[in-house]
């Protein structure tokens, strides 16, 4: 399948044939089943993950192949127009996914594991992977190609960015048992390692270094590697004083994420409620 997808992506035909659409459907079925992923664990990588560029090509191919059609359930009260290749993902009661009524949407071509809870309104985009037992809370977004592990909690108002383009760029990775607090944002291929906790309002991206008070270290993204948050780190929104120029004179501080500790029994007690709600 990889060779076929890459060939069709790199050599655009004059028209797409039935065989092309059958190929894309097989690819999308594999995405829905979690058999292929935009990124996957790789112990030989510094970040622990590698991007599968051909999978991202396949997702982009779907946008190229599809035509915009009317998908409205009620064209007057709630019009809905999208590509024919990316309708809403289908679920049944046997899927084991809890989708609470109230305006959520999950796009076809993503994996949503058993025991996932979707609180309205939330959105999961195509190419994403959401592991078993994870909760996606109200007003939360899981972006295209984002990889979210099992037993995570994506709290209300949080944004897990995707990174669909460029095809070689690592998407956002949230590993198992991570707690993302309310109104957090994780962007630009950041990797949040297992059992980390992001306090309310924490923003992580390639531009902002993370200061680790517990280990006297500073973590930054580079041209070759993403920002990586260590396992079990507890990260909160902090600030760092400007030390020169007008910023110093005016007493200005800039936002910076700060690791204040690593998970312990007290931390686990504070976030235990998440398990009771599953």
Angle at CA 231, nearest 5°, toward 177 and 215? Answer: 145
**What pLDDT, on the 0 to 100 scale, is given for residue 269?**
67
**pLDDT, tens digit, 9 for 90 and up, residues 202-258:** 999 999 999 999 999 999 999 999 999 999 999 999 999 999 999 999 999 999 999
Report the alpha-carbon distance of residue 3 to residue 222 in Å, rounded: 31
* Percent of the chain at pLDDT exceeding 70: 96
Buried-exposed string 193-212: b where 16+ CB fall within 10 A, e elsewhere: bebbbbbebbbbbeebebbb
Work out whether the CA dihedral 233, 237, 243, 245 comes out positive or negative: positive
Reported as a pLDDT band with limits 50, 70 and 90, residue 272 is low
**What pLDDT, on the 0 to 100 scale, is given for residue 165?**
83
pTM as predicted: 0.94
Query: CB within 8 A of 35, min separation 6: which ones?
Result: none
The verdict on residue 193 lying in a domain is yes
**What pLDDT, on the 0 to 100 scale, is given for residue 274?**
54
The verdict on residue 85 lying in a domain is no
- The residues that bridge with 210 in the sheet, in sequence order, are 219
SS3 assignment, position 63: helix
Structural domain count of the chain: 1
The verdict on residue 57 lying in a domain is yes
The verdict on residue 89 lying in a domain is no
Between 275 and 69, the higher pLDDT residue: 69
Between 194 and 73, the higher pLDDT residue: 194
Domain span at residue 126 reads: 3-68+96-273
The verdict on residue 179 lying in a domain is yes
Cβ count within 10 A of residue 178: 27
φ/ψ of residue 18, rounded to 5: -60, -35
Cβ count within 10 A of residue 19: 10
Alpha-carbon separation of residue 160 from 180, 184, 212, 248, 257 (angstroms): 9, 8, 22, 33, 16
Residue with tokens 């707690």: 179
The verdict on residue 90 lying in a domain is no
Q: What is the mean pLDDT of the chain?
A: 94
* Cis bond before residue 204 (omega within 30° of 0): no
Average pLDDT for 11-20: 96
* Percent of the chain at pLDDT exceeding 90: 88
The verdict on residue 86 lying in a domain is no
Reported as a pLDDT band with limits 50, 70 and 90, residue 46 is very high
**pLDDT, tens digit, 9 for 90 and up, residues 160-180:** 998 888 888 999 999 999 999
CATH number at residue 164: 2.160.10.10
The verdict on residue 81 lying in a domain is no
């Amino acid at each position: 399948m990889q060779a076929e997808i890459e060939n069709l992506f790199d050599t655009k035909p004059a028209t797409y044939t039935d065989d092309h659409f059958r190929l894309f459907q097989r690819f999308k079925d594999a995405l829905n089943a979690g058999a292929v992923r935009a990124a996957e664990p790789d112990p030989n990588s510094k970040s622990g993950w590698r991007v599968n560029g051909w999978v991202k090509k396949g997702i982009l191919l779907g946008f190229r192949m599809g035509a915009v059609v009317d998908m409205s359930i009620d064209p007057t009260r709630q019009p809905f127009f999208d590509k024919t290749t990316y309708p809403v993902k289908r679920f049944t009661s046997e899927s084991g996914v809890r989708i609470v009524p109230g305006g959520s949407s999950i796009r076809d071509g993503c994996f949503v594991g058993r025991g996932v809870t979707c609180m309205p309104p939330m959105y999961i985009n195509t190419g994403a992977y959401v592991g078993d037992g994870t909760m996606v809370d109200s007003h939360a977004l899981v972006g295209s190609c984002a990889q979210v592990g099992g037993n995570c909690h994506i709290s209300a108002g949080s944004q897990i960015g995707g990174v669909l383009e460029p095809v070689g760029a690592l998407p956002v990775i949230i590993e198992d048992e991570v707690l993302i607090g309310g109104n957090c944002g994780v962007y630009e291929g950041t990797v949040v390692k297992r059992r980390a906790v992001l306090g309310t309002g924490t923003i992580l991206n390639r531009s902002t270094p993370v200061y680790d008070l517990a280990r006297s270290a500073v973590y930054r993204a580079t041209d070759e590697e993403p920002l990586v948050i260590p396992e079990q780190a507890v990260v909160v929104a902090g600030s760092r004083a400007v030390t020169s120029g007008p910023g110093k004179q005016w007493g200005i501080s800039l936002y910076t994420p700060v690791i204040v500790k690593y998970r312990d029994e007290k931390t686990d007690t504070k976030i235990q409620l998440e398990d009771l709600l599953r």
